[in-house]
């Protein structure tokens, strides 16, 4: 669904209210096969939060980011286009670019500016086949300027892609410590057993305690 399309302009709020009454299990089953499992989860939780707080959509990017499933890009798009807040529409993993974009946003028409950039990236400055001849920003394009002065460089070389680090294979020996319930033998049901687990830092998963060693073991 195109969120900016006029065809859904008067129905998307109703969608949020209906979403809040859905069971996530059904949404998960319907969208999981499309690779949208996490999106359906965030949409469900976000809809529940909005309705629970009175059904009012936050009007600032900072408040929109508190809704599950809404990040820097989406919050900037909603706040600037719908509520005319002068914020950029940039993904959260490019902090430097977001600071620069924030200086360029027209405070009087932030929605127009952001929609223009979104359309420019979607139709003109595409990653594989950019239409530089029809681009209105060629005067300021560093990639095009570099390509004109260096035959070994192409516009599509930008942005420079990070070199992927080769994956490492680790071998480990595991020793599981099990505390049997009182009066339980090794041959009986272990439903009352306890296992030694440690909590990883920063909200990590439970894991068996591990000790790193630098000894090569013969397999």
In tens digits, the chain (219 residues) has pLDDT values of 444 555 555 665 566 556 555 555 544 445 444 454 555 566 667 777 887 888 788 899 999 999 888 888 889 999 999 899 999 988 655 667 778 888 889 999 999 989 988 899 889 999 889 999 999 999 999 999 999 999 999 999 988 888 888 888 777 676 777 777 776 666 666 667 777 766 666 666 666 666 665 555 555
Q: What is the pLDDT of residue 158?
A: 86
Q: What is the pLDDT of residue 200?
A: 66
Closest of 76, 140, 74, 65 to residue 110, by C-alpha: 76
Element (H, E) at 12: helix 12-20
Residue 91 near residue 74, CB atoms below 8 Å = no
Domain 6-127 has CATH 1.10.340: yes
- Angle between helical axes of 24-32 and 37-52 (0-180°, round to 10): 150
Look up the pTM and report it: 0.54
Q: Provide the 3-class DSSP secondary structure of residue 98.
A: helix
Q: Which residues contact 154 (CB under 8 A, 6 or more apart)?
A: 147
Give domain limits for the chain. 6-127, 128-160
């Amino acid at each position: 669904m195109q969120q900016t399309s006029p065809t859904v302009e008067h129905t998307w709020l109703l969608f949020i209210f209906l979403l809040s009454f859905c069971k996530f299990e059904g949404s998960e089953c319907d969208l999981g096969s499309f690779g949208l499992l996490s999106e359906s989860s965030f949409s469900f939780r976000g809809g529940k939060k909005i309705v629970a707080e009175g059904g009012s959509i936050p009007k600032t990017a900072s408040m929109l980011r508190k809704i599950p499933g809404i990040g820097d890009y989406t919050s900037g798009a909603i706040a600037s286009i719908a509520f005319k807040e002068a914020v950029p529409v940039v993904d959260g993993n490019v902090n430097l670019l977001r600071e620069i974009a924030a200086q360029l946003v027209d405070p009087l028409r932030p929605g127009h500016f952001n929609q223009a950039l979104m359309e420019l990236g979607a139709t003109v400055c595409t990653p594989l086949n950019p239409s530089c001849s029809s681009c209105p920003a060629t005067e300021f394009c560093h990639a095009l300027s570099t390509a004109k002065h260096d035959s070994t460089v192409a516009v599509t070389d930008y942005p420079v892609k990070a070199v992927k680090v080769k994956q490492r294979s680790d071998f480990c020996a595991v020793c599981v410590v099990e505390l049997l319930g009182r009066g339980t033998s090794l041959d009986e049901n272990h439903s009352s057993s306890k296992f030694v687990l440690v909590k990883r830092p920063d909200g990590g998963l439970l894991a068996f305690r591990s000790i790193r060693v630098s000894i090569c073991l013969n397999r």
